[in-house]
């Protein structure tokens, strides 16, 4: 190696390195400004796990419902079959709006459930609710088994107790208010006509607030079927299970609570155990002054059931036919009682949802 190679390999001094870096900086231009650090989204702005699960299942949430679930505000689900098939126009819309008003007055967000253009929807706008009400019986009655078909065909559908419970629970709603529960139909031991409500409640974790099983049903057999499926039936404020229009069915209640707080404690304990994933039925008696005497209600119901059989109204068509016949036979008194009891159920259901929310 000669002296020229040694000169090339000689380490540069500090001044030489500084000069070279200065030349390089002049070629590259000024340094870019520092990248700003963006704030992370706040927890309240992120969708809830339930909302994500609902979206993945193709369920649409009304913005108010989505915000309530995200922020922990109590939500109460409501069915739409009672609107389309349970009452005539315009009483159906008036009642639906009044019930939503009761829920709001109770400190909760109402979430009426329906299928709109093939999309299961939890929480309806006023226009959507009116569309279901005006459509009446032309709107398809959608039970749990019908949801996939209604979605695939892009149909509008009024959801039954079974379908509403499934969709509400999937969205993360823990309280569902309805008029009466489906169950074993009279003569069901021969016809095998048993509502899907029972099996759905056996695997759906939420509280269903109702006035007991519909009076057109075989209530003792309905209670037996619920017991077999592990679904608690809890009477509110009395020792017997109510029978929709009548405050007393004559059947002893398996359990009793006397306040929304007691009901919340029972529901929370049941859901926490996860016993088969099923729910709880809370049976609220028809408010005083609106109930029908048991004997009169039974006579009118038996006549309406006989009329349905004579007309060949079976399956999904049976209950709407019988309720219409009852309204006619009682000169509208049964419709008035139906409206009173659903509002009463909504008031109790809202108080229950608030009490559940306090328990976390």
**Which active-site residues does the annotation give?**
79, 214
To which residue do tokens 């739409």 refer?
80
Q: What is the dihedral of CA 221, 76, 291, 265, to 10 degrees?
A: 70
Tell me how far apart the alpha carbons of residues 341 and 288 are, in angstroms, rounded to a whole number.
Answer: 10
Q: Is the peptide bond before 90 cis (omega within 30 degrees of 0)?
A: yes
> Where are any strands of DSSP class E within 157-302?
157-159, 175-177, 207-210, 233-236, 255-257, 280-283
Kindly give, in sequence order, each residue whose CB lies less than 8 Å from that of residue 279, ignoring residues fewer than 6 positions away: 165, 169, 201, 204, 205, 206, 207, 208, 231, 270, 271
**CA proximity to 337, closest of 222, 242, 238, 235:** 242
Within 10 angstroms of residue 41's Cβ, the number of other Cβ atoms is 8
Q: Sort residue 107 into left (φ over 0), alpha (ψ -120 to 50) or beta.
A: left
Strands 157-159 and 109-116: antiparallel
DSSP 3-state percent helix, strand, coil across the chain (nearest 5): 50, 15, 35
Burial of 267 (0-12, 13-18, 19+ CB in 10 A): buried
- Which residues are bridge partners to 243 per DSSP? 246
Q: Sort residue 133 into left (φ over 0), alpha (ψ -120 to 50) or beta.
A: alpha
CB contact at 8 A, 181 and 209:
no
Tell me how far apart the alpha carbons of residues 198 and 305 are, in angstroms, rounded to a whole number.
Answer: 21
């Amino acid at each position: 190696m000669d002296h020229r190679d040694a000169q090339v390999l000689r380490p540069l001094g500090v001044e030489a390195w500084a000069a070279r870096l200065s030349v390089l900086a002049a070629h590259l231009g000024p340094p870019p400004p520092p990248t700003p650090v963006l704030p992370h989204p706040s927890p309240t702005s992120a969708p809830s796990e339930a909302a994500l699960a609902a979206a993945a299942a193709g369920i649409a949430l009304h913005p108010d419902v989505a915000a309530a679930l995200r922020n922990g505000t109590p939500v109460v689900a409501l069915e739409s079959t009672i609107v389309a098939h349970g009452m005539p126009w315009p009483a159906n819309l008036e009642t639906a709006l009044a019930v939503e008003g009761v829920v709001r007055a109770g400190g909760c967000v109402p979430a009426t459930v329906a299928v709109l253009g093939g999309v299961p929807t939890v929480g309806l706008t006023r226009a959507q609710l009116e569309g279901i009400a005006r459509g009446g019986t032309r709107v398809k009655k959608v039970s749990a088994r019908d949801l996939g078909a209604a979605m695939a065909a892009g149909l509008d559908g009024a959801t039954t107790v079974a379908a509403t419970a499934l969709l509400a629970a999937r969205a993360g709603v823990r309280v569902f208010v309805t008029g009466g529960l489906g169950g074993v139909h009279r003569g069901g031991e021969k016809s095998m006509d048993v509502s899907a409500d029972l099996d759905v409640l056996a695997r759906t974790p939420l509280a269903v607030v109702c006035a007991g099983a519909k009076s057109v049903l075989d209530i003792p057999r309905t209670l037996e079927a619920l017991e077999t499926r592990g679904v608690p039936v809890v009477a509110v404020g009395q020792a017997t299970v109510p029978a929709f229009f009548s405050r007393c069915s004559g059947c002893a209640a398996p359990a009793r609570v006397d306040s929304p707080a007691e009901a919340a404690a029972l529901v929370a304990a049941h859901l926490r155990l996860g016993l088969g994933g099923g729910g709880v039925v809370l049976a609220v008696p028809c408010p005083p002054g609106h109930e029908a005497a048991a004997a009169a209600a039974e006579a009118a119901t038996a006549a309406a059931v006989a009329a349905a059989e004579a007309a060949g109204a079976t399956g999904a068509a049976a209950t709407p036919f019988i309720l219409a016949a009852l309204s006619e036979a009682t000169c509208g008194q049964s419709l008035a009682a139906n409206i009173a009891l659903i509002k009463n159920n909504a008031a109790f259901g809202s108080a229950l949802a608030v009490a559940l929310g306090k328990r976390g």
